[in-house]
Amino acid sequence: MEITDMYGQVLAGTVTDLNKDEAFVQIEGYTFALDLSELTEIPELGDEIAGFVYENQAHKNKMTTVLPFVTQGVWDFAEVTDVRTDLGVFVNVGLEDKDIVVSLDDLPFEHNEWPKKGDSLMVKLEVDHKGRLWGKLADIELYTQIARSPGELKTIMNKDEEGTVIAIRDSGAFVMTESYYMGFIHVNEQSEPLHVGQHIKARVIGESHRRLNLSMKPRAYEEISPDAQMIVAVLEHSIDKKIPYTDKSDPDDIREYFGISKGSFKRALGNLMKQRKIEQKDGYTYLK
């Protein structure tokens, strides 16, 4: 077996040498370094050890007994650690000294739709003819296979769902929720431009084609008025995030400081308190 055929597999080999940090495991004439810190006891020469074999970022042949959570047969979400527009994005699959590239060929044509650092992508490992490990991005068909049926819509209607953007289309974005429902957010229901891998929160507004229709727009009672936005901005820039004004304050003081009537001020405070963004105590309004 060529060494390029070994990469990305779990193989067993024989310990042929040791130093203070590593055991050297030989498999069909090729040697792989295994960190002793992974083992509960120091092996002896001639012992057999099995592990995942690969070439690390420094082009060193390595073996690890701590298997990556993504393999050639196992899909999982992996965090994006870096973005290279000329190559693709790097994801962490659980290897201490190597991140895996998801090729730009698997990513959207438009760079603004690419994942960003900290986003999550569902991938599995692929090994090319040179033994290089790649992350293969899951497609819509795979998500469709693993997605749950929405069931009775009334049980989840208007409920919030969190999830990950998995694909972008001209008409909107596909989402896999944390409850493993397939969702779709039409462009008119998006609060911002979305990108693949982005974590979003949206509410259920309907169902079609065995998918949940989602909206990122706030419910009517969640919308913040311009007056409330102004109050929040003042609080954010105030010392200790508090201001000496409440719904009991003098109307003239409110108009002089905020430029709005006491009625408008009270409505804005009521809206913010309903959303638990502020609280009033001892003659002050506090940002929570």
Q: Quick check: 278 and 285 in contact, CB under 8 A?
A: yes
Is pLDDT of 157 > 60? yes
**Mean pLDDT over residues 115-144, rounded?**
95
What is the tens place of the pLDDT at every residue in 196-250? Answer: 999 999 999 999 888 999 999 877 656 678 888 899 989 999 889 999 999 999 9
Residues 210 and 170 in one domain: yes
> What is the pLDDT at residue 223?
66
Residue in the block written with tokens 């193989």: 11
Half-sphere exposure of 110 (CA within 13 A, CB side): 10
CATH number at residue 244: 1.10.10.10
Query: Do the domain assignments include residue 69?
Result: no
17 vs 30: CA distance, rounded Å: 13
What is the tens place of the pLDDT at every residue in 74-116? Answer: 999 999 999 999 999 999 999 999 999 999 999 999 999 999 9
Q: Quick check: 211 and 129 in contact, CB under 8 A?
A: no
**Mean pLDDT over residues 161-175, rounded?**
96
Residues 166 and 113 in one domain: no
> What is the pLDDT at residue 275?
82
Is pLDDT of 129 > 60? yes
> What is the pLDDT at residue 49?
97
> What is the pLDDT at residue 222?
63
What is the tens place of the pLDDT at every residue in 12-29? Answer: 999 999 999 999 999 999
Which of 15, 43, 64 terminates a domain? The answer is 64
Query: Do the domain assignments include residue 70?
Result: no
In the chain, what percentage of residues exceed pLDDT 70? Answer: 98
Query: Do the domain assignments include residue 278?
Result: yes
195 vs 42: CA distance, rounded Å: 47
Residues 57 and 81 in one domain: no
Specify the number of domains making up the chain.
Answer: 4
What single DSSP character describes residue 59? S
> What is the pLDDT at residue 206?
93
What is the tens place of the pLDDT at every residue in 256-284? Answer: 999 999 999 999 999 899 888 899 999 99
What are the Cα distances from residue 86, in Å, to 105, 125, 158?
Answer: 11, 20, 41
